[in-house]
A and B are shown apart, each in its own frame.
Chain A
Amino acid sequence: MTTTVTAVPGETGTPYTLSHLDALESEAVHIFREVAGEFERPVILFSGGKDSIVMLHLALKAFAPAAIPFTLLHVDTGHNFPEVLEYRDRTVAAHGLRLHVASVQDYIDRGVLKERPDGTRNPLQTVPLTERIQAEKFDAVFGGGRRDEEKARAKERVFSLRDEFSQWDPRRQRPELWNLYNGRHAPGEHVRVFPLSNWTELDVWQYIAREGIELPEIYFAHEREVFQRAGMWLTAGEWGGPKDGETVEKRLVRYRTVGDMSCTGAVDSDATTLDAVITEIAASRLTERGATRADDKMSEAAMEDRKREGYF
């Protein structure tokens, strides 16, 4: 028998099972508290995307009624959706948090980074990210990465050691046994921590619905000026689209992921509520990254290669 028994307080000896969302929540909270207990300078990567929003929500619950003992870090590509930046700043203010911003535009303006021919800034985030980690001496960096996103991420540990160059070596990862996470690291090294490792896209959405978490509006269907490139609907903007031969049209769309505008595509959708979004995702035959992320399509090992260099 599949049991979805919720034990009644006061009864002893009853078989007791957590729902899958409660189990994932409990595990994530355990991970946040391990980091708080073992590290000096942890930081949460916060982009205003749904995964980082869920991370923040879990961190708030993990330390309630005290404040989160971490600061936040956003790598701003300069091509972010305005609605998302507005959400980011409002959320940071509402919880009295401190936000570090590392700016790709600054690096380009200083001539340290070069704009790519395709205009995509996602891969350019690695340098500002890793330099800020070193400069601020962050020793634990929370990311919202999930193993279900991509096959290289399926190999990722919950506590993942990065060397002094922030590099990931997938062949030299520490085995992770039971829930005994090993956070030991040398000065200059840091640990990437993924509390949502075991969550799927659907879990994230169901949790958002259950907890009533507010999201930026771009996650819900809305009319938007978009144009088509490589099979994706991209938002027109100063980042370099549309080009010749690409025509802008008004469509009813929503976003499944939030990233750099230049490589994050919208999907046709009429889902305006959380329930409608969940129904849509449960029926979708495309992964969220496959549907909407150009940067993952560059090669079979695009994610692994970027992760090796220090990307999330």
Chain B
Amino acid sequence: MTTTTELTETTLLRFATAGSVDDGKSTLVGRLLHDSKSVLTDQLEAVERASASRGQEGPDLALLTDGLRAEREQGITIDVAYRYFATPRRRFILADTPGHVQYTRNMVTGASTAELTVILVDARNGVVEQTRRHAAIAALLRVPHVVLAVNKMDLVAYEERIFARIAEEFTGYASELGVPEITSIPISALAGDNVVEPSANMDWYGGPTFLEHLESVPVAHDLAHCHARLPVQYVIRPQTAEHPDYRGYAGQIAAGTFRVGDPVTVLPSGRTTKVTGIDLLGEPVDAAHTPQSVTLLLEDDIDISRGDLLVPSKDAPATTQDIEATVCHVADAPLTVGHRVLLKHGTRTVKAIVKDIPSRLTLDDLSLHPHPGQLVANDIGRVKVRTAEALPVDSYADSRRTGSFILIDPSDGTTLTAGMVGESFASPEPVKDEAEDDGWDF
């Protein structure tokens, strides 16, 4: 029997799936949930009932994941859904994203919080355009770990050379894009080979099963290479008899470590002071790390409010009103040059104007179209934005939290665009204005 303590002392892995229609993504997700015993009897019964009422012979595991009426009616997944399952070693949050090219924004949404992305390919087809798109988005979002799941190995006689060829081609391509870690696993989601249990059909494969890999991939933050960042969310001032002078700056540490005694700078004002105390949800501590939610107490009573960024004085980012970024447009209405928007970065929301859209990426062949004039839903492109106030932005390559932003339509609050600050990561060369350019750039 698993004890309470063992269950408590696990870690959490957030991961996202991507895969084209018919690559077997739903089957893989269904098998993971099913074989990890995360599908409970009443859920399975509901799926069996629904499948039978549609005249289907066996239970359709896709019904486990398609939660909306419209999805069940159309038999497709139209939106990101979040699934939860656990093994004794780890808890998992799965962002289940549709793989269709017109749902690029959903994959971007799922990948934005993921530590790992699973890219599924059909062993019979190998690396196809859609696989390259998924790899490009995983690279763009800087998901730390990528798994290539070569599915339907049962349909290619479990042949090692087929797997090896696909894995080699994908790894070469994804490494060029800057994907830091790639693990390739041959599976059959339908037959259950190498998903949860090792496959007897592929004794040539010496690596972990899919689930073993999910359970063991590191989720630790390497604090040595992080710039410490705390976006101030809220100022806590009890003004009670017990705490007449308490003034704490609350927020979730976006990156790195803060310690009592650290000299810190408040951005964008540039004032400096020192950390005199750290409260971790009511308990004083000497140091706190990302992603803890904390409250910092500072030596000087200076003007700090929601939207400010606290950083170590020796490691402050530059502030700027001109931001260049790679973006994914997520709204139905287009983003155009001259568009007046709101930009939310950390805890700060400022007015901004779209100054230029230098290029749009064609996901089909990863070529660049210069000056497209606008970005429509699911487009990925480069955008230059001018903000009304200076912002302390990091490069997305350095910090996924303080290097990202969203654009919001001020008229109705629609989330328009997901932005990643900084130079393109894939190609150090400047953007060339030829569509046939074989090096590509976001």
Contact = CB atoms under 8 A, between A and B. Distances in A.
A64 interface: yes
Given A19-B11, A182-B413, A64 B79 contact: no
B214 to A, nearest CB: 10
Interface in B352-369: none
B142 to A, nearest CB: 11
Nearest to B290: A16
Q: What's the interface size class on A, roughly?
A: 35 or more
Contact of B81 (A17, A25, A155, A209): A155
Interface in B222-238: 222-224, 233-234, 236-238
Nearest to A15: B220
A66 B234 CA distance: 12
Contacts of A20: 10-12, 90-91
A161 B413 CA distance: 10
A66 B238 contact: yes
Nearest to A191: B413
B50 interface: yes
B223 A26 contact: no
A13 B221 CA distance: 9
B84 A285 contact: no
B369 to A, nearest CB: 24
A175 interface: yes
Contacts of A26: 252, 291-293
Interface stretch (B184-192, B196-204, B399-407): B399-407
Interface of A: 1-5, 7, 9-10, 12-27, 29-30, 33-34, 36-37, 61-67, 147-148, 150-155, 161, 170-171, 173-180, 182, 184-186, 197-198, 200, 202-203, 206, 209-210, 274-275, 278-279, 282, 284-287, 290-291, 300-301, 304
Given A18-B12, A171-B78, A290-B46, 17 more contacts: A15-B222, A16-B221, A16-B223, A16-B290, A18-B11, A19-B11, A20-B11, A37-B233, A61-B282, A151-B65, A175-B105, A175-B106, A182-B413, A184-B412, A210-B8, A279-B1, A291-B42
29 contacts: A1-B216, A3-B11, A9-B287, A12-B224, A16-B290, A17-B221, A18-B11, A18-B12, A19-B11, A23-B12, A26-B292, A27-B293, A29-B281, A61-B281, A62-B250, A63-B234, A63-B236, A64-B279, A170-B70, A171-B68, A171-B70, A171-B79, A175-B105, A175-B109, A177-B112, A179-B252, A184-B413, A279-B1, A286-B41
